[in-house]
Amino acid sequence: AQSVTQLDSHVSVSEGTPVLLRCNYSSSYSPSLFWYVQHPNKGLQLLLKYTSAATLVKGINGFEAEFKKSETSFHLTKPSAHMSDAAEYFCVVRPSPPNDYKLSFGAGTTVTVRA
Amino acid sequence: DGGITQSPKYLFRKEGQNVTLSCEQNLNHDAMYWYRQDPGQGLRLIYYSQIVNDFQKGDIAEGYSVSREKKESFPLTVTSAQKNPTAFYLCASNRDPNNEQFFGPGTRLTVL
């Protein structure tokens, strides 16, 4: 069985400062990992994904995440927050072996950006 | 434009009524999914379909039903048996389970 824990339910940062969103997972296999962003009353948009290639993954809008197997973590970072980054962020695990259709979603981290 | 559309965006229902939420995709994806989202929680899987004319229950299927008669369409019916249907409903699709899911814009259902 797999599960995802987002360690912060809410993160508040000033515009121009770094953002760190923490995610830990548990999985019986080598998982695929995703970060999605959701703006209010919208669907989810993929930011980036890890699928067993490079452990440092670059995504859209300046976000990146590092897969650390020893720590079972997949933290999301951005060096400089922008007002448009205010949204909810979900860490998602897809277990391996492949062909499993079910994903596990974290509870989400709400990011607010102060001017 | 390729993508997933959901309609309506907002839906109001009286207790005891069944309602159907629409989900259409033109991405030529085989797999489609329905999720429910409640405040402060992650998404929970209601039903999914790997291929036309086939679907499986997710984690919270009670009180819901689906059909998959066409590749492009995966409607969700919220029945009167669903005890607490007020939520945000999201539809998603992907080419196969090894690829990321693409999400529609969602339907917000409110039971009056």
Say if strands B4-7 and B19-25 run parallel, antiparallel, or are unpaired: antiparallel
Closest of A112, A97, A93 to residue A3, by C-alpha:
A93
CB pairs under 8 A between A and B: 57
User: In Å, how far is A55's CA from the nearest CA of chain B?
Assistant: 18
pLDDT at A96: 62
pLDDT at B24: 98
Please tell me if residue A98 touches chain B, with a CB cutoff of 8 Å.
yes
B47/A104: higher pLDDT: B47
pLDDT band at B112 (very low <50, low <70, confident <90, very high): confident
In tens, the pLDDT along B63-74 reads: 999 999 999 999
For the segment B38-50, the average pLDDT, to the nearest whole number, is 91
In tens, the pLDDT along A47-84 reads: 999 987 788 999 999 999 999 989 999 999 999 999 99
pLDDT at B94 over 90: yes
Please tell me if residue A105 touches chain B, with a CB cutoff of 8 Å.
yes
pLDDT at A35: 97
Please tell me if residue A54 touches chain B, with a CB cutoff of 8 Å.
no
Q: Which residues of A touch B98 (CB under 8 A)?
A: 32, 98-99
B106: nearest CB among A41, A46, A106: A41
pLDDT band at A31 (very low <50, low <70, confident <90, very high): confident
pLDDT at B40: 77
For the segment A26-35, the average pLDDT, to the nearest whole number, is 83
User: In Å, how far is B20's CA from the nearest CA of chain A?
Assistant: 19
Exposed/middle/buried for residue B61 (C-beta within 10 Å: 0-12, 13-18, 19+): middle
pLDDT at B48: 95
Q: Do B42 and A108 touch (CB under 8 A)?
A: yes
Lookup result for tokens 């066409």: B70
